[in-house]
Structure 1
């Protein structure tokens, strides 16, 4: 069985990198992984205790509101006001997601239509390419690098689209 949305996706770069790390370790190389930011040290004991305490509280044994926990949304709105001087309504302008990838992919589904063009920096994280592709958009990668005129490259990609 073949799935149309998956066949056009590029290889997942982190799977390739994981394979290279495994092979390098097999060959005896000491690999320092600066990739995902996945901790290689134990969590602080106070964090583990707080997590266990929260897990034992039956109020936490359910899904939160679909827009996210109200106090969390209020805290985000307060942070934006303090740090950036931007006033946000926590009920209509703040949403929490499971993670950045989920939020980004949902945003692409909302903003993009079949045949739209999405300008994506290259290199980038895979979701920056996959999110627009899943939403039906065409991805135009903008190469980034030293000495690159960022705005000129965006204009060029925009005109090409």
Structure 2
């Protein structure tokens, strides 16, 4: 008897299909023209060579081969605060006013009505 394919956990088994699966299946089945998914980084081309070379060099650095802190590296938060403070006309606090996320979906998930 063949083994059963993996099943979802009981807590999610009754949920409907997720939006990304629907979009990806729709894009694959598009009869007229390809649908460009700009939400998940599905590129149809390679990045420029200078980016590929920089990525190869980064792989040789131990500090680049690990997860970053989930709330962002302090140096990045400070750089963003310094860059955006002039645009806001005041000094931004990198610890309380700069939020780093692991993507747009996480960022949107943290927002509430009237957030900027």
TM-score of the aligned structures, taking structure 2 as reference length: 0.66
Quote the RMSD (CA, aligned, Å).
2.9
TM-superposed deviation, 1:57: 0.6
| Count of residue pairs the alignment pairs up | 103
- Are positions 1:33 and 2:35 aligned together? yes
Rounded Cα–Cα distance in structure 1 between residues aligned with 2:96 and 2:67: 20
Q: What's the counterpart of residue 2 of structure 1?
A: 10
Task: Using CA pairs under 8 Å that are at least 6 residues apart, name the structure with larger relative contact order, 1 or 2.
Answer: 1
Rounded Cα–Cα distance in structure 2 between residues aligned with 1:41 and 1:73: 31
Q: What's the counterpart of residue 47 of structure 1?
A: 51
Rounded Cα–Cα distance in structure 1 between residues aligned with 2:54 and 2:96: 30
Larger helix proportion, structure 1 or 2?
1
Rounded Cα–Cα distance in structure 2 between residues aligned with 1:96 and 1:102: 9
TM-score of the aligned structures, taking structure 1 as reference length: 0.51
- Dislocated runs of 4+, deviation >6 Å: none
- Are positions 1:79 and 2:83 aligned together? yes
Rounded Cα–Cα distance in structure 2 between residues aligned with 1:90 and 1:71: 9
Larger strand proportion, structure 1 or 2?
1
1:25-60 CA-to-partner distances (Å, cap 9, x unmatched) read xxxx45232332532111011011111111111122
* Runs (5+) with no aligned partner, structure 2: 1-8
* Equivalent in 3, 12, 18 of residue 12 of structure 1: 18
TM-superposed deviation, 1:63: 3.1
- Residues 1:32 and 1:74: Cα distance change in structure 2 (over 3 Å): same
Rounded Cα–Cα distance in structure 2 between residues aligned with 1:41 and 1:96: 27
Q: What's the counterpart of residue 63 of structure 2?
A: 59
Q: What's the counterpart of residue 96 of structure 1?
A: 100
Q: What's the counterpart of residue 21 of structure 1?
A: 27
